[in-house]
Structure 1
Amino acid sequence: MRVHFVLHESFEAPGTYLDWAQTRGHEISMTKVYQSEQLPQTADAIDFLIVMGGPQSPDPDLEAFPYYHPEEEIKLIRSALSKDRYILGICLGAQLLSQAYGAQYEPSPEREIGNYPIELTAEGLKDQHLQHLGEQLVVGHWHGDMPGLIQGAQVLATSQGCPRQIVRFSPKHYAFQAHLELTHELVELLIAAEGREALLAQSQCHPFIQTPEEILHYHYAEMNEKLGAFLDSLTESTSSTSAE
């Protein structure tokens, strides 16, 4: 399988998503947007498109991020949609996926930074690829916005601070606002990018922002393993269905 990653910042690395692709022996390619690399014009050479997070929003901001062109990413996502490829959007990528579907991203009711539980909805509990998550799971968060919804999109998981943590747009297209790919190493990068003092100050006035010490205290292995199980289930079951 040809897996292509769209990376918006060096500190928003693919983590467990990349580990999974390497372990499964998939062919891996990347576009590092932050290095002004050009996106593929189409998804012809992509089987699984994974669009990662970043500090940006789906709106262009050439002054702050001159290398970031969301309209080009949405074009690539729509090419993948038209070819029925697997698509997974994480954080900013989740919002871009919703935009590609014609929805409008929105501010989350609360900014979330740290490790907080998500709870599967009734629809989420029925999703065959999320069975291993259980009713509730503590996962990583680092966001202020959330994906939009269209008719037919299913909200599969929520949190106290955000009502759209996992959204399924189609059997092959999922939006993850949460970060199940995080490791201690990646969290250190995110904390450094945010600024320890800034993060500490935010934690004192926002109910769903943890201190750097609280964030680093969490053990990420279980979350990472369950993400790998989701990816296996998604690609194996839909591949079998397509083959039939």
Structure 2
Amino acid sequence: MRTHFVVHESFEAPGAYEDWARARGHEVGYSRLHEGDALPAGADGIDLLIVMGGPQQPSTTVEECPHFDAAAEKALIAACDEADKAVIGICLGSQLIGEALGAPFESSPHTEIGSFPITLTAAGRQHPFLAGLGDTFASGHWHNDMPGLTEDAVVLATSEGCPRQIVAYSRYVYGFQCHLEFTPDCIEALIAHDEKELATLADRPYVQQPDQLRANDYTEMNAKLMAFLDRLAADYADR
């Protein structure tokens, strides 16, 4: 499976998504936008597009962040969707998917940073890529916003702090507001970038501080993510 990552910042690493792709022997490509890499010209040569998170919003302009072109990313997402390729967006990436398909992003009811449970909806419990993974399980979080919902979108998972944690836009297009890909290395990079901001959010109900962030066990959520990805990839290959 030809997997291409769009990475916005060095501290928003692909984590377990990359571990999965390499462990399965996939052909892996990158657009590390923070290093000046270009986006793919289109969907050719891609089976799975994975758009990572970042501190930007879909409304962030090129003038505000020269290496982030929301319109170009949305055009790539739309091209992959139209070509029936698989697309996964994480955090900012999930919001860009919604926007690419006509649904503006929105502010989440709460800021969530840390490890907090997500709960599968009835649709999520019945979904072939999530069934049997547990009705409620821990997930990583680091966000203020959430993806918009198209008419065809189905919410597969929620949390106490955010009603849109996993969204299915079609059989092969998914928005993950949550971060099942977090690893200790991912967390260290995020803490290094955001430690001062974390201190200002200490009174928020769904924000953990660095000591707790480091103490969380991310292995189980990584395993659940990889099970989801294995099922998606098998279904995509067999269609």
The TM-score with structure 2 as length reference comes to 0.97
Q: What secondary structure sits across from 2:148 in the alignment?
A: coil
The offset of 1:162, in angstroms, is 0.4
1:57 aligns with 2:57: yes
More displaced stretch, 206-215 vs 61-70: 61-70
Aligned to 1:237: 235
Residues 200 and 212, structure 1, Cα contact 8 Å, conserved in 2: no
| Letter in structure 2 aligned against 1:165 | Q
After TM superposition, which residue ranges in structure 1, 4 or more long, deviate above 4 angstroms? Answer: none
Q: What secondary structure sits across from 1:133 in the alignment?
A: coil
In structure 1, how many angstroms separate the alpha carbons of the residues matched to 2:11 and 2:197? Answer: 17
| Letter in structure 2 aligned against 1:203 | A
| Letter in structure 2 aligned against 1:182 | F
1:221 aligns with 2:219: yes
Structure 1's unaligned 5+ residue stretches are: none
Q: What secondary structure sits across from 1:228 in the alignment?
A: helix
Aligned to 2:141: 141
The offset of 1:133, in angstroms, is 2.4
The offset of 1:63, in angstroms, is 4.2
In structure 1, how many angstroms separate the alpha carbons of the residues matched to 2:104 and 2:133? Answer: 28
In structure 2, how many angstroms separate the alpha carbons of the residues matched to 1:190 and 1:144? Answer: 15
Aligned to 1:73: 73
Q: What secondary structure sits across from 1:5 in the alignment?
A: strand
Q: What secondary structure sits across from 2:189 in the alignment?
A: helix
1:190 aligns with 2:190: yes
Aligned to 2:21: 21
| 1:1-244 superposed matches below 5 A | 1-195=1-195, 197-204=196-203, 206-240=204-238, 242=239
Alpha-carbon RMSD: 1.0
The offset of 1:238, in angstroms, is 3.2
| Letter in structure 2 aligned against 1:145 | D
Residues 6 and 51, structure 2, Cα contact 8 Å, conserved in 1: yes
Instruction: Tell me the alpha carbon deviations over residues 107-135 of structure 1, each in whole angstroms, 9 at most, x when there is no partner.
Output: 00101001100001111111011123211
The offset of 1:62, in angstroms, is 3.2
In structure 2, how many angstroms separate the alpha carbons of the residues matched to 1:222 and 1:76? Answer: 32
Instruction: Tell me the alpha carbon deviations over residues 176-206 of structure 1, each in whole angstroms, 9 at most, x when there is no partner.
Output: 00000000111010011102x43123122x1
Identity across the alignment (%) = 49
The TM-score with structure 1 as length reference comes to 0.95
Q: How many residues matched?
A: 239
Instruction: Tell me the alpha carbon deviations over residues 120-178 of structure 1, each in whole angstroms, 9 at most, x when there is no partner.
Output: 11111110111232110111000000000011210000001100000000010110000
Residues 132 and 229, structure 1, Cα contact 8 Å, conserved in 2: no
The offset of 1:41, in angstroms, is 1.2
In structure 2, how many angstroms separate the alpha carbons of the residues matched to 1:198 and 1:38? Answer: 30
Residues 132 and 226, structure 1, Cα contact 8 Å, conserved in 2: no
The offset of 1:103, in angstroms, is 0.4
Residues 108 and 145, structure 1, Cα contact 8 Å, conserved in 2: yes
Q: What secondary structure sits across from 1:234 in the alignment?
A: helix
Q: What secondary structure sits across from 1:175 in the alignment?
A: strand
Structure 2's unaligned 5+ residue stretches are: none
